[in-house]
Structure 1
């Protein structure tokens, strides 16, 4: 079950009764559609909108459903079970669902033990909810064995006409990781394919190889960022190989390597964003390195590297340490005065390109706790608690240097119970890791995690961040005073607005409304910076909504 690019969605900031169909909150307008009465599946993803229809993915038990709504009334008109065909008498496992150029494709996988091949296929769903009989082969990845069959990762282009996909798996006997990268058009025809195998050298201390992120731009160029690091014990220094692999359509998708050179620091994580002005932006966290070459691993600050894809030149590289005021909010005054660094629990949530060419980076504290399994083998159930806490907001100038930073104070968690086997994808081990995206598995959506996190809305030069909160936190922006959002069914909305200097203005509803619908923040579709399709519920009551700014 796969990675959804993980973000939240706007919620209500008004005391108006929710039985009404429309709300005007300052410059936010929200309209709900008809109540969804069909019980076959909770909506876990809004796939997209095309030809006056909204497509969504439903999940009930282990079964997935394609739900189709009218665009105007947001009324459910079709609810078809997704029943994938078999390959050589083996059931295809549902992986993901995408809309490409108005067409809906189901993506599924199957492992063939005899050949040691992990296959990925695509099947189109028609507008009336019928599954095509034409199964499109996407990957036939050779793997070492079933337990190391690896995982598939996906990202669509900004215009939703291309699908970039990758498979990565570990070859333990060879001390190597193999990854296959492919770009598909809107008919799932392969535009390019590249395969690499990275070997591990036992003589290298603290060796790590991370596939950090990938992206596709408006020119159908694909990019992959990797970070390889180890400690040279003889030279007593940390060695970092930080590279972007570019596969450009104009160059026949020939692999081009772009090096980003620095010393005395270690990259902790990295996210990528390609822009329409022929730039690739890399942002993430870094740590300091001791005199003996060992990395401290705690977060010293945030970096930005910009690449001009026409020249393949990294024309800026800035390392911005956390300022004292930010560290006080994250660590407390006592630790900040002692110069302590920040714990490495923060993941890049969103990268926003500002109107002036600079960036706004949202980094959320996010981790999970896996509880004790009850039961045996495939019948066992395991509770998993997801934590999505404070967000560091970092605003960078066009040259990558720090303009301002601040912290969104929140404390959220939700627990989902899942089958013990197959809880997580095999993202990496043995010094190799794949760290693409910030998301939850589809299989846990609808069980609580979809209420967590926040959505940034950047429009007309202003940043807004909206999330569900505990009603007792009204008016509070101090991390030390924030109370945990425990029962998300009783969550209330809050809005944090940022001015040009990063100052926060918090806005809360005037009063808490009994039985108010609660937005499911992880389930949304962004049509533009000012328009979203959302999903809200309250116990058995569910509705799609449309929010405009």
Structure 2
């Protein structure tokens, strides 16, 4: 009898280890088995196919691994170091990893100084975890010099069967920005390519050219948003050239230019969402313009433009100022009463299409503080602090006008020390800039920043936002009362839920507070509207899990 009791207890313990779970209202979080402590921390979940979950892991400074897991128990199946070959006697540097139509690819780059060519290549990962020998050349971009070789940016299509890649580079001597954009199918065969170079006109005051965003839809149509602006000193007005370049599959990728016209405002940034309804949604922040044509640069509010891709017509363009209640939460009552604008420290985190055809825009306070290097030569250490604070939630009606807005109160910070790191989330030089994203570099992940930010989930007209918080903030939604996250290893997951009027309900279940695992919102994979793959840990105990909305 004692033996039977012992085995029953053992079975319960093992089952709990495999299928540990807890609920936050109607959101169920389940975890698999504990993962081996191999020092390689997961920095990206990039797909699931045929019962296998794929992840990218980082060990040390630049040793990247591909890990695979069973979809059921989330048990690790393989852990292979990525060893990239040489190309013309130069080592290939890791850039990205993607899963296209179920096939995993490693993408790397190499610069050849003599030829001034920046090359991007792709290699398929075999079932044995080793790279196949047939290297595919994706880009051979001519650049001015190593320092200005630029960056590559990546967007996987919504159905994960193709990948859109863009390379940008500055040519200082020509006062020019060159950008090249290509679309590849699931075999990394190029199906579309376009290259252009924008030059700078010294006669224009306050001239700026911004490559704001690019995207691909389910029809393999390609889009690029550009914003060219300057001040006409004679007319004392701000001139904005806000355009979408459309390259549609149905028209053999012929370039189509869509103008978005307005006056007396300046576009600060823009993010784009291509829908499966043959529309293009553009959202971002804007600023006011003074009488002399100079922009104030601070955030006045949120705009929305909806483009009908059948007619290439901008069907609506709405500029929505922040309302007083939102400004009080962001600036304080005294500054809000004085009509002050919001500091330009918010980046668009997520765009969600609502059931009624409107949008929800999540804009997060994001700041990176880079300290001074200490040490000598290549051994110098650079301290970097990542700050991810409150999120502005803006709900827009189908016509682009404001429905409601509110603020997710959070205060998060993580500091890391690195020997070297490249910020690929954007680049600029003089009057040209590229603002694709504000993502945290992979080289700093696994050290703390992945605990920051949030996971938004939208279903049945309700917005849910999960993030890590200080357990002392239980029940608090007032931004003036919250305490900072503190030690992220001791954080607890919390849920903010918004009703159709924007009212917040906060959930802090005891089950979540007692659970030892801490979710890493910087590392998740959205499988569909109802299901997300997540990575969680506490100290040396790491697990993969699923978030499912019931």
User: TM-score, normalised on structure 1?
Assistant: 0.95
**What are the superposed Cα offsets for residues 395-436 of structure 1, whole Å, 9 maximum, x if unpaired?**
000000001000111111101111236466771211111111
Aligned-partner Cα distance in 2 for 1:287–1:130: 51
Distance 1:403 1:426, change over 3 A: closer
Structure 2 SS opposite 1:339: coil
Structure 1 SS opposite 2:311: coil
Alignment match, 2:300: 300
Aligned-partner Cα distance in 2 for 1:425–1:327: 28
Distance 1:82 1:328, change over 3 A: same
Aligned-partner Cα distance in 2 for 1:526–1:126: 24
1:511-526 counterparts in 2 under 5 A? 513=513, 516-526=516-526
Residue 38 of structure 1, CA deviation:
4.4
Distance 1:460 1:32, change over 3 A: same
Matched, 1:46 2:31: no
Aligned-partner Cα distance in 2 for 1:350–1:496: 16
Aligned-partner Cα distance in 2 for 1:457–1:180: 34
Structure 1 SS opposite 2:429: coil
Residue 100 of structure 1, CA deviation:
0.3
Residue 22 of structure 1, CA deviation:
2.6
1:520-539 counterparts in 2 under 5 A? 520-539=520-539
495-504 or 23-32: which moved more?
23-32
Aligned-partner Cα distance in 2 for 1:51–1:493: 30
Aligned-partner Cα distance in 1 for 2:23–2:74: 19
Residue 437 of structure 1, CA deviation:
2.2
Matched, 1:317 2:317: yes
Aligned-partner Cα distance in 1 for 2:353–2:531: 18
Matched, 1:228 2:201: no
203-212 or 350-359: which moved more?
203-212
Aligned-partner Cα distance in 2 for 1:56–1:286: 37
Residue 513 of structure 1, CA deviation:
4.7
Unaligned runs of 5+ in 1: 1-16
| Contact 2:425-2:436 at 8 Å conserved across structures | no
Structure 1 SS opposite 2:267: strand
Structure 2 SS opposite 1:325: helix
| Contact 2:320-2:402 at 8 Å conserved across structures | yes
Distance 1:512 1:362, change over 3 A: closer
Matched, 1:66 2:58: no
Distance 1:38 1:246, change over 3 A: same
Distance 1:501 1:45, change over 3 A: same
Aligned-partner Cα distance in 2 for 1:212–1:275: 18
Distance 1:266 1:423, change over 3 A: closer
Residue 489 of structure 1, CA deviation:
0.3
| Contact 2:426-2:436 at 8 Å conserved across structures | no
Structure 1 SS opposite 2:330: helix
Structure 1 SS opposite 2:173: helix
Aligned-partner Cα distance in 2 for 1:545–1:515: 13
Aligned-partner Cα distance in 2 for 1:422–1:511: 39
Structure 2 SS opposite 1:197: strand
Residue 471 of structure 1, CA deviation:
1.1
Aligned-partner Cα distance in 2 for 1:358–1:155: 23
Aligned-partner Cα distance in 2 for 1:115–1:547: 49
| Contact 1:453-1:521 at 8 Å conserved across structures | yes
| Contact 2:69-2:78 at 8 Å conserved across structures | yes
Structure 2 SS opposite 1:203: coil
Distance 1:455 1:421, change over 3 A: closer
Distance 1:104 1:352, change over 3 A: same
Alignment match, 2:128: 128
Aligned-partner Cα distance in 2 for 1:252–1:40: 48
Residue 98 of structure 1, CA deviation:
0.3
Structure 2 SS opposite 1:201: coil
1:71-82 counterparts in 2 under 5 A? 71-82=71-82
Aligned-partner Cα distance in 2 for 1:400–1:425: 28
User: TM-score, normalised on structure 2?
Assistant: 0.95
| Contact 2:370-2:385 at 8 Å conserved across structures | yes
19-28 or 516-525: which moved more?
19-28
1:31-180 counterparts in 2 under 5 A? 31-61=30-60, 62-180=62-180
Residue 121 of structure 1, CA deviation:
0.2
| Contact 2:423-2:440 at 8 Å conserved across structures | no
Residue 510 of structure 1, CA deviation:
3.0
**What are the superposed Cα offsets for residues 462-502 of structure 1, whole Å, 9 maximum, x if unpaired?**
11111000111111111111111121001011111111100
Aligned-partner Cα distance in 2 for 1:212–1:170: 16
Residue 242 of structure 1, CA deviation:
0.3
Matched, 1:267 2:267: yes
Aligned-partner Cα distance in 1 for 2:263–2:498: 35
| Contact 1:373-1:420 at 8 Å conserved across structures | no
Distance 1:421 1:363, change over 3 A: closer
RMSD over aligned Cα atoms: 1.4
Aligned-partner Cα distance in 1 for 2:383–2:487: 16
Aligned-partner Cα distance in 2 for 1:460–1:421: 41
Residue 380 of structure 1, CA deviation:
1.1
| Contact 2:25-2:507 at 8 Å conserved across structures | no
Structure 2 SS opposite 1:480: coil
Residue 512 of structure 1, CA deviation:
7.5
Residue 514 of structure 1, CA deviation:
6.0
Unaligned runs of 5+ in 2: 1-15
1:157-306 counterparts in 2 under 5 A? 157-306=157-306
Alignment match, 2:12: none
Aligned-partner Cα distance in 1 for 2:370–2:421: 13
36-45 or 112-121: which moved more?
36-45
